[in-house]
Amino acid sequence: MTDTLRNDLFLRALLREPTPRRPLWLMRQAGRYLPEYRATRARAGNFLNLCTNPELACEVTLQPIDRYGFDAAILFSDILTVPHAMKLGLEFEAGEGPRFERPVRTPRDIDALPVPDPHIDLKYVVDAVALIRRELRGRVPLIGFAGSPWTVGTYMVEGGGSKSFAHIKRMMYEAPAELHRLLDVVTRATVLYLNAQIAAGAQAVMLFDTWGGILTPAQYEEFSLRPMAQVVAALTREADGRRVPSIVFTKGGGAWLERIAAIGCDAVGVDWSTDLATARRAVGGRVALQGNLDPAALYAPPDRLRAETLRVLDSYGPGPGHVFNLGHGITPDVDPERVAVLVETVRNYVPG
């Protein structure tokens, strides 16, 4: 790529380099809270069509950049594209979320799993990354992403979302070697997938570990953190003459921030249940931090939202290494004007 990056605050912050202000982006910043997104999705017909159409994925990726001027764009996709490419029969049911027609629950199911070639089986994602990078024209960096092996594996075994996680936890206790075999396949697929995104133009990558927080500390180490460490260790480290930073985010992982920081990633995402000052002490300057406003704060009146935003900014304290974000994804029923208040507050923040 030959485009000159005009705003690299996000990348610099991830590498704990000084920046003149705090960079920000929001998880799920391209989404249902935006009327322009809803219009594009209506044209697509359904969510999966939107994800698998590079032109439409590019369109919705750029919408929040055009509206708010965030400091990073994130590829519009889904964490279940990898198992979708494994031919498990992914569907998104209205009001029900993702469902797999063929869950993975037996040794034979695991034996049958292919490792998708991202340039063939996930070409629509690679093409979307290249198109988005081209259309950004150096305005801001582009983030690529994948689900963590544990999180993706959980969906594959459960067959969709779950409250009890009975199938994956049964496998974990009854047949841990089989679960490790499954996670190994997903880990290898995730490495290929993320490195293909980097080759296509992603300038940072993020692992979303949505379900790591349901585990005990020992289970987290074995089944979630270890596969993520394997992914991070195998990532392409440099592209276009600069480092490609990696971010690891475990929802509900506040107790394990120090251990996450030790796996070699450049930044750790923090959810809203941990104060950033506490998180900063835990990681000891080893990594940057990303987060961590409660997404529900966007329901607050503007003055209260400003106060909550400033509290998060103040909690990190002075010095480099902070990317402002929510502690999880923005919810669909948020007023877009509240997001504008949030952006303005972060942009104008002056540390005390």
Which of 12, 16, 22, 41 is flagged as catalytic?
41
Comparing CA positions, the residue from 314, 313, 303 lying closest to residue 338 is 303
Q: What is the pLDDT of residues 74-90, one digit of tens each?
A: 999 999 999 999 999 99
Using CB atoms within 10 A of its CB, is residue 165 exposed (0-12), middle (13-18) or buried (19+)? middle
> What residue has token string 């024209």?
137
- Domain ranges, residue 307: 9-347
Does any domain span residue 55?
Answer: yes
| Residue 155 annotated to the active site | yes
Nearest to 132 by CA among 67, 59, 183, 182: 59
Q: Is the pLDDT of residue 16 over 90?
A: yes
Using a pLDDT cut of 90, give the percent of the chain over it.
Answer: 97
Task: From the candidates 37, 155, 193, 316, give the one annotated as an active-site residue.
Answer: 155
Model confidence band, residue 352 (pLDDT cutoffs 50, 70, 90): confident
The arithmetic mean of pLDDT across residues 30-42, rounded, is 97
Query: Looking at the predicted structure, is the pLDDT value of residue 93 above 90?
Result: no
Q: Which of the four pLDDT bands, split at 50, 70 and 90, describes residue 351?
A: confident
Residue 48 placed within a domain: yes
pLDDT above 70 for 13: yes
Q: What is the pLDDT of residue 212?
A: 97
- Note whether 255 and 235 are within 8 A (CB): no
Q: Answer yes or no: is pLDDT of 286 > 90.
A: yes
Cα separation, 237 vs 234, whole angstroms: 9
Per residue in 203-244, pLDDT (tens digit) is 999 999 999 999 999 999 999 999 999 999 999 999 999 999
Domain count, the chain: 1
109 is catalytic: no
- Residue % of the chain over a pLDDT of 70: 99
Q: Which of 8, 71, 78, 209 is catalytic?
A: 78
Q: In this structure, is residue 2 part of a structural domain?
A: no
How much is the pLDDT for 2? 60
Is 28 one of the annotated active-site residues of the chain? yes
In angstroms, what is the C-alpha Rg of the chain? 19
The verdict on residue 4 lying in a domain is no
- Token pair in block for residue 35: 């009327």
Q: For residues 178 and 181, give the distance between their C-alpha atoms in angstroms, rounded to a whole number.
A: 5
Q: Which of 21, 32, 242, 243 is catalytic?
A: 32
Distance CA 227, CA 150 (A): 8
Average pLDDT in the 53-60 region?
Answer: 98
Please report whether residue 352 resides in a domain: no
Distance of CA 312 to the CA centre of its chain: 20
Interval 108-157: pLDDT, tens: 999 999 999 999 999 999 999 999 999 999 999 999 999 999 999 999 99
pLDDT band per the 50, 70, 90 thresholds, residue 71? very high
| Residue 349 bears catalytic tag | no
pLDDT at 1 over 70: no
Sign of CA dihedral 267, 272, 273, 279: positive
Looking at 12, 16, 22, 28, which residue is catalytic?
28
pLDDT at 97 over 90: no
Residue type at 107 in one-letter notation: P
Domain CATH number, residue 142: 3.20.20.210
Tell me, yes or no, if 311 is annotated catalytic: no
Residue 203 sits at the vertex; the CA angle it makes with 252 and 258, to the nearest 5 degrees, is 30
Mean pLDDT over the full length of the chain:
97
Please state whether 321 falls in left (phi above 0), alpha (psi between -120 and 50) or beta: left
Confidence check: pLDDT of 95 > 80: no
- 1 within domain boundaries: no
Spatial contact of 239 and 198, defined as CB atoms under 8 Å apart: yes
